Chains A and B, each alone.
Chain A
């Protein structure tokens, strides 16, 4: 038993070191394009404004509307979560996706598969865009503005719960990403897959209360954008029940298991296609 544990510990350590190496490589690459940092910072502020703009319209004087039970401040929290996930998507997920897609198209994925480490791990950590971190800053600003509007600050417990759910949401997003990559094995030329992923996440701009009936169910369990943005926002507001909290965790675990299974299957598909 202790042998297994030690083995597990050793491989954990090995993968952490690998992650460090991959991160360093990406960082060095990005250091060459330092000017991009400023472009990215400006663009991410711009993105943040465009993400808020629809709320101005819904809650603005022309419409004077409301999204079923969400005040402007509360809806801004959802947008904050959305921008946070967008930062993950653009900084970590999209760059890797582009690398894999090119590998698959050119057939160079073989070299990745030959390496003595888990291919899913290598592929997922292939490329980071450190400069996109400015997006996290933007989401922080939006959280601040939202809470200032609401004039309540979250308790430490709510904050911890919200942060935890955002981490879980990142996991969910990652699982979705693995599905998309697996699609790349089948359809090969897939520049558009990156659009698809951001289009899926785009739904998360709005509190899920907007949707009713079948669509609401779909956006909770099939394409879990509700779990990714609405639920963390509710946690920050302290209105998320424990049952809902547990639901998110269970869903995330199920999605992770399924995505691993899908990955293993599509890897097999790739090998049989090339050889």
Chain B
């Protein structure tokens, strides 16, 4: 642990330098995550013609929709990881063995390289966050205390994405490629996370399924916290469920990775 802490500064510096070097790729990724803006326009036009009532009895007018999707964009920039694609690539090319030679677990390497992309993404996200606060204004009676939960909710969301990526990435050792499973994860993420529409609008049975699956804890929950659209009690319960998912996926990642590495070494000789 102490050794790891000593290595951390240089690991972070290397990761950050890599991200600067491949900044064009980062820009393309940000462009690919502009879906919330499209959804914002779409839901504004629906909200102008129809009265939409959210789960807490609040009206979701055009302004609230704008507010919601700006928050979605910001949170998506923070809770992102693509370790699964990196792992697939390195396992297929065999370059994973280089990582295994290093004196730290490759899992930490993947986590750090994802984390160091954050500053660049924040450069894009912060202006949007400013617009978000500007549009929202001060709402008397809103639960501003919820914002204290935001850091925990964001870290929890990020860990869910990261662990899911690593668990699925580890599967590539056994099947040669697991990008397809990752694609299926993304498809489910789009629907159940609140990325395409506010979670409040789900029909009851879909909401029930969404509540069990990890996806809403990945994005929807932090967004609800940021837009202050939860009671404090509910927020704490959701936070508990979120960290339960973090724990479950963490253990799953650990188990799959351990088995994967043993399999990989046997395969690579």
**Residues of chain A at the chain B interface (Cβ within 8 Å):** 36, 39-40, 43, 46-47, 50, 53-54, 56-58, 60-68, 183, 186-193, 195-196, 198-199, 202-203, 206, 210-212, 215
Residue from the list A56, A58, A199 in contact with B46, Cβ < 8 A: A58
Across the interface, do B22 and A47 meet the contact criterion of CB distance under 8 Å? Answer: no
Q: A46-B187, A54-B191 are in contact. Are A187 and B201 (CB under 8 A)?
A: no
Q: Which residues of A contact B203 (CB under 8 A)?
A: 56-57, 60-62
Shortest Cβ distance from B92 into chain A, in angstroms? 10
* Interface of chain B: mostly helix, strand, loop or mixed: helix
Counting from the closest, the 7 A-B pairs by CB-CB distance are: A187-B24, A195-B32, A65-B50, A199-B32, A192-B29, A192-B28, A196-B32
Q: Which residues of B contact A47 (CB under 8 A)?
A: 187
Q: Which residues of B contact A61 (CB under 8 A)?
A: 203
Name the residue in A40, A54, A58, A63 with the highest tally of chain B Cβ atoms < 10 Å from its Cβ.
A63
Q: Which residues of A contact B184 (CB under 8 A)?
A: 43, 46
Residue from the list B25, B29, B35 in contact with A202, Cβ < 8 A: B35
23 A–B pairs (Cβ distance < 8 Å), ordered by A: A36-B180, A40-B180, A43-B183, A50-B191, A62-B53, A62-B203, A63-B46, A63-B201, A64-B50, A65-B46, A65-B49, A65-B50, A65-B52, A66-B46, A68-B45, A189-B22, A190-B24, A191-B85, A192-B28, A199-B34, A202-B38, A210-B41, A210-B45
Q: Which residues of A contact B243 (CB under 8 A)?
A: none
Alpha-carbon separation in the docked complex, A87 to B45 (Å): 29
Q: B172 in the interface, Cβ–Cβ < 8 Å? A: no
Q: A43-B184, A46-B187, A68-B45 are in contact. Are A56 and B32 (CB under 8 A)?
A: no
Residue from the list A64, A67, A191 in contact with B25, Cβ < 8 A: A191
Across the interface, do A210 and B42 meet the contact criterion of CB distance under 8 Å? Answer: yes
Q: B190 in the interface, Cβ–Cβ < 8 Å? A: yes
Shortest Cβ distance from A253 into chain B, in angstroms? 27
Alpha-carbon separation in the docked complex, A51 to B184 (Å): 12
Across the interface, do A66 and B32 meet the contact criterion of CB distance under 8 Å? Answer: no
Q: Which residues of B contact A199 (CB under 8 A)?
A: 31-35
Shortest Cβ distance from A128 into chain B, in angstroms? 16
Q: B202 in the interface, Cβ–Cβ < 8 Å? A: yes
Alpha-carbon separation in the docked complex, A82 to B184 (Å): 17
Digitize B204-245: 1 where CB-to-A-CB distance is under 8 Å, 0 elsewhere. 001000000000000000000000000000000000000000
Shortest Cβ distance from B177 into chain A, in angstroms? 9
Residue from the list A46, A186, A203, A212 in contact with B45, Cβ < 8 A: A212
Q: Which residues of B contact A36 (CB under 8 A)?
A: 180
Question: What residue of chain A has the Cβ atom nearest to residue B43's Cβ?
Answer: A58
Question: What residue of chain A has the Cβ atom nearest to residue B22's Cβ?
Answer: A189
Q: A61-B203, A210-B41 are in contact. Are A187 and B25 (CB under 8 A)?
A: yes
A-B contact count (CB 8 A): 101
Alpha-carbon separation in the docked complex, A63 to B196 (Å): 14
Q: B16 in the interface, Cβ–Cβ < 8 Å? A: no
Alpha-carbon separation in the docked complex, A40 to B187 (Å): 13
Q: Which residues of B contact A187 (CB under 8 A)?
A: 24-25, 28
Across the interface, do B42 and A206 meet the contact criterion of CB distance under 8 Å? Answer: yes
Residue from the list A56, A60, A68, A203 in contact with B38, Cβ < 8 A: A203
Q: B197 in the interface, Cβ–Cβ < 8 Å? A: yes
Q: Which of B167-188 contact A (CB under 8 A)?
A: 180, 183-184, 187-188
Alpha-carbon separation in the docked complex, A88 to B229 (Å): 40
**Residues of chain B at the chain A interface (Cβ within 8 Å):** 22, 24-25, 28-29, 31-35, 38, 41-42, 45-46, 49-50, 52-53, 82, 85, 89, 180, 183-184, 187-188, 190-191, 196-197, 200-203, 206
Q: Which residues of A contact B28 (CB under 8 A)?
A: 183, 187, 190, 192-193, 195-196
Name the residue in B28, B35, B41 with the highest tally of chain A Cβ atoms < 10 Å from its Cβ.
B28
Q: Which residues of A contact B206 (CB under 8 A)?
A: 53, 56-57
Question: What residue of chain B has the Cβ atom nearest to residue A40's Cβ?
Answer: B180
Question: What residue of chain A has the Cβ atom nearest to residue B199's Cβ?
Answer: A57
Shortest Cβ distance from B42 into chain A, in angstroms? 5
Q: Which residues of B contact A60 (CB under 8 A)?
A: 201, 203
Shortest Cβ distance from B169 into chain A, in angstroms? 14
Shortest Cβ distance from A65 into chain B, in angstroms? 4
Q: Which residues of B contact A183 (CB under 8 A)?
A: 28
Q: Which residues of A contact B89 (CB under 8 A)?
A: 191
Across the interface, do B187 and A211 meet the contact criterion of CB distance under 8 Å? Answer: no
Question: What residue of chain B has the Cβ atom nearest to residue A33's Cβ?
Answer: B176
Across the interface, do A57 and B197 meet the contact criterion of CB distance under 8 Å? Answer: yes
Residue from the list A39, A57, A198 in contact with B201, Cβ < 8 A: A57
Alpha-carbon separation in the docked complex, A189 to B203 (Å): 42
Shortest Cβ distance from A118 into chain B, in angstroms? 27
Alpha-carbon separation in the docked complex, A34 to B184 (Å): 19
Alpha-carbon separation in the docked complex, A197 to B204 (Å): 33
Question: What residue of chain B has the Cβ atom nearest to residue A196's Cβ?
Answer: B32
Shortest Cβ distance from A87 into chain B, in angstroms? 13
Question: What residue of chain A has the Cβ atom nearest to residue B38's Cβ?
Answer: A203
Across the interface, do B25 and A192 meet the contact criterion of CB distance under 8 Å? Answer: yes
